[in-house]
Chains A and B, each alone.
Chain A
Amino acid sequence: MKVLVPVKRVIDYNVKIRVKPDGSGVETQNVKMSMNPFDEISIEEAVRMKEKGVAEEVIAVSMGPQQCQETLRTALAMGADRGIHVKTDDVLEPLAVAKMLKAIAEKEQPQMIIVGKQAIDDDCNQTGQMTAALLGWSQATFASVIELGEGTAKVTREIDGGLETVDIKLPAVVTSDLRLNEPRYASLPNIMKAKKKPIEEMDPASLGVDTTPRVKTLKVSEPPKRQGGVKVESVQELVSKLVNEAKVI
């Protein structure tokens, strides 16, 4: 089977995010970018399926500006077989991404799409669910274990109360959670080999998708600065403050 994995180029998780002075968004100029960590987990899972012989091909898809090719190269270096770059400088909302994924899925016919449960930039947590709905496929979100059966998959989901296990029919959309696996490092020789793997370029129009945003951002602002704490003299004082001032116990 084929596995399709979308990978998003986001601000690196180590970078301290700064809001633009005009409040229109966050600073991305000269900021280190890398693959959304949940997407790394998705790629790792797909590559492991391939190594086990249950998947034949892993296709990575990235949507966005030219630099997304670097994100795709990372996916290829980790073991994906080929890349698809939907090139656009437009702002992409989850719905537009989901529509484009649907169009690509219809063409490529994967049995599974593994989507990161959310991207660490906008934390939407929508793309996987929307893609499944648009395709009319089964979905299993927040996966910490994926076991493939004959035309089915057993997925363990991380939910508030604990773990839930669901059986789903393939084709399906699964979203990856943090504990699904620990993604590998791309080795230097594999980074070199990735140069020779193909990346196909297309644009939103060729997929028949209108990417015009439906949400308008009014203002982006810094979270309030943390107030300094106070030192307490004794356990009694601490308990009394927790009861009377913080009112948490």
Chain B
Amino acid sequence: MTLDPETLSLLLDATRRLVDEKLIPAEAEADANGELPSDVVRAMREMGLFGLTVPESYGGLGLNRSEEVRFLFEFCRASPSFRSLLGTTVGVGGKSILLDGTEEQKAYWLPRIARGETIVSFCLTEPDSGSDAKALKTRARRDGDEWVIDGTKRFISNAPLAGLFVVMARTGERVTAFLVPAETPGIEVAKPWRKMGQRAAHVADVAFEDCRVPADAVLGGEAGIGRGFNAAMKALDDGRLHIAAVAVGLGRRLIEEMLEYARTRRQFGEPIASFQLIQAMLADSEAELAAARALVETTAAKRDAGEPVTRDAASAKYFATEAVWRIADRAVQLHGGYGYMSDTPVERLFRDARLLRLFEGTSQIMQLVIAREMLREA
């Protein structure tokens, strides 16, 4: 669905206000405590953020990709820890159901997702299979009317909060995706990992042992058996576009922080903004961000027009996340020693930004995908 410009602008205004008035002020504490404050989570839920990509007929907002990325440009001016809470739900996890679920699966899960009741985690990565996702070892075997899942998933975002796990498991040669409610016996969520950044967002390993789900837990029903990898890759195209938009939002924030500091910090009797070497950092950051934003917007528009975007989504993710990393580094540099101190927002945002080049496909994997698509089309 495409929104009228008036409604979209109200949505973006409301988002900006939430970010400026509630999220940014809560960032430092959230990072220090390794926890999102509960009133902020409530505000996010009340704002209806979990239903962003769920169609209106299932109680969500039904944003298309162009609208979703515009939302993320605004929303991700706040630490990506906040985004992470919705990330797997409106991103890869929820998208899998939206793209490949049966009508019953959509009717059951999507309204719960839209209301913010069910957080979805997406379980692909394993201890021995990261970039080489196809090598996953988690198995599901049929036992009468049930499937029995055994295996361990690694670095699963939001696992401690999840109400639903979308689990990729091997069923014979091929991979099948399963919708596994968190209360199913045989699931153990480990202690969250301690990590460099996005500390208010939690990532944990999830072990499935003799975990039994009914036959209708297969994503897409009978027809979905053996099609899990396709489903995952489709969801990942959108997921990568989503992460690229996150990078653009974060980049905008970093540039705002840089501008503010450059205009107020004085050395040699002048604001540092008057030094051309500082201006170069600002200009390089702005130009790279503008390019990243344009790439994200064009890819989103193509996706909305129904064109294949595997190559472009990988390009967008690759370029935008690498660009925001350079911007984050300049932001620290521009702040001098203060940029290294934990009371300065850019210190935290720098740590937060690092992740974007790693998950939902590392930069190297993005390069491989881009080149593979290029060579295939040549």
Q: Using a CB–CB distance below 8 Å, which chain A residues touch chain B?
A: 34, 69-70, 73-74, 77, 185-192, 194-195
Contacts and interface: CB of A to CB of B under 8 A. Distances in A.
A188 B61 contact: yes
B56 A192 contact: yes
B341 to A, nearest CB: 27
Contacts of B7: 73, 191-192, 194-195
Contacts of B51: 188-189
B256 to A, nearest CB: 13
Contacts of A69: 6
B107 interface: no
Given A70-B9, A185-B14, A190-B48, 20 more contacts: A34-B13, A69-B6, A70-B6, A70-B10, A73-B7, A74-B10, A185-B18, A186-B14, A187-B14, A187-B46, A187-B47, A187-B48, A188-B14, A188-B52, A188-B61, A189-B48, A189-B51, A191-B7, A192-B7, A192-B61
A186 B15 CA distance: 10
B330 to A, nearest CB: 26
A195 B43 CA distance: 22
A74 B4 CA distance: 14
Q: Which of A70, A186, A192, A194 has the most C-beta atoms of chain B within 10 angstroms of its own C-beta?
A: A192
Contacts of A190: 48
23 contacts: A34-B13, A70-B10, A73-B6, A73-B7, A73-B10, A74-B10, A77-B14, A185-B14, A185-B43, A185-B47, A186-B10, A186-B14, A187-B46, A187-B47, A187-B48, A188-B11, A188-B15, A188-B51, A188-B61, A189-B48, A189-B61, A190-B48, A195-B7
A191 B14 contact: yes
B356 interface: no
A186 B46 CA distance: 9
Nearest to A71: B10
Interface of B: prevailing SS: helix
Nearest to A189: B48
B17 interface: yes
Nearest to A12: B13
Contacts of A191: 7, 10-11, 14
B69 to A, nearest CB: 15
Nearest to B1: A192
B214 to A, nearest CB: 32
Interface residues of B, number: 21
B16 to A, nearest CB: 10
B49 interface: yes
Contacts of A186: 10, 14
A73 B7 CA distance: 8
Nearest to A14: B20
Interface in B42-79: 43, 46-49, 51-52, 56, 59, 61
B56 A195 contact: no
Interface in B2-46: 4, 6-7, 9-11, 13-15, 17-18, 43, 46
Contacts of A185: 14, 17-18, 43, 46-47
B48 A188 contact: yes
A191 B15 CA distance: 11
B235 to A, nearest CB: 23
Contacts of A189: 48, 51, 59, 61
9 shortest interchain CB distances as A-B pairs: A189-B48, A188-B48, A187-B48, A191-B10, A187-B47, A186-B14, A70-B6, A191-B11, A188-B11
A190 B43 CA distance: 14
Nearest to A195: B7
B129 to A, nearest CB: 37
B47 A188 contact: yes
A77 B10 contact: yes
Nearest to B114: A189
A26 B374 CA distance: 53
Interface in B124-152: none
Contacts of A188: 11, 14-15, 47-49, 51-52, 61
Nearest to B7: A195
Contacts of A34: 13
Nearest to B51: A189
A66 to B, nearest CB: 10
Nearest to A191: B10
B252 to A, nearest CB: 16
Contacts of B10: 70, 73-74, 77, 186, 191, 194
A58 B311 CA distance: 51
Contacts of B14: 77, 185-188, 191
Nearest to B52: A188
A190 B15 CA distance: 13
Contacts of B59: 189
A91 B52 CA distance: 39
B76 to A, nearest CB: 16
A188 B18 CA distance: 11
Contacts of B48: 187-190
Contacts of B9: 70
Contacts of B11: 188, 191
Contacts of B49: 188
